[in-house]
Amino acid sequence: MGRGRVQLRRIENNISRQVTFSKRRTGLLKKAHEISVLCDVEVALIVFSNKGKLFEFSSNSSMERILDRYEQKLYAERKLASSSSESQANMSLECSKLTSTIEALKRNLRQFQGEELDTLSLRDLQLLEQQIGNSLKRIRTRKNKLMHESISLLQKRERTLQDQNNMLAKKLKENEQTPTEHAQHEVQNHVSSSSVQPPATMQFPSLTIGGSYEAMEGTNKEAQLNLNLVPIL
């Protein structure tokens, strides 16, 4: 038959308790050595008997080195836990502050819209009215500024379009007057050339006086002969 489960409780008999302690201590030290060798880990074991006697085991030659490493690790974990808890507390506080601020802003917005005014005193209502008046002034100032800027831009565009229109009208007028002036210029040139240069077919009379007189005398003699030859009826 198998061994039954042993109930763990304090052994009342001193001798039996001391024997059990010696056996279990030896087995515990053996197991610590085995796990350090098999798994390549650092193991430190400290046991105090009920009479205050110290029994220890370390996987290397220095128990202090393992204890220092343990203290450093424990301190780092405690510090991290402390900073984490402190950070969480700060985040909770900040979250509550932001929630309160959001609620206050929502309440102010509703009051600006004319809601939830019953809880406000006369002084609060006057202050709210003053704030709304100042806001309206700033809104009107901004609106007027934008309107003036828009009007100035439209006027500038209008002047630009007017200048372009005048320029186009001037060019169109110049294009209409150019053919007429060109024709008038040609006519003037033609008249000037006609008045200055004589025609090519024009002949001037001969200036020989003697020759002209002899020709006239011959003509008179021929006419007289013709008169003499007329028969008398």
**For residue 61, pLDDT beyond 60:** yes
**Total-model pTM:** 0.34
Average pLDDT over the chain, rounded to whole? 78
- Nearest of 132, 136, 100 to residue 113 by alpha carbon: 132
- Residue 220 pLDDT: 55
Name the residue type at position 4.
Answer: G
d(CA 213, CA 219): 10
Q: Count Cα neighbours of 163 within 13 Å in the Cβ-side half-sphere.
A: 6
Name the residue type at position 125.
Answer: L
**For residue 13, pLDDT beyond 80:** yes
Percent of the chain with pLDDT over 90: 23
The DSSP string of 28-84 is: HHHHHHHHHHHHT---EEEEE-TT--EEEEESSS-HHHHHHHHHHHHHHHHHHHHHH
- Residue 166 pLDDT: 92
Helix, strand, coil shares of the chain, percent, nearest 5, are 75, 5, 20
Considering only residues 197 and 155, tell me which one the structure prediction assigns the higher pLDDT: 155
Q: Provide the 8-state DSSP code for 6.
A: P
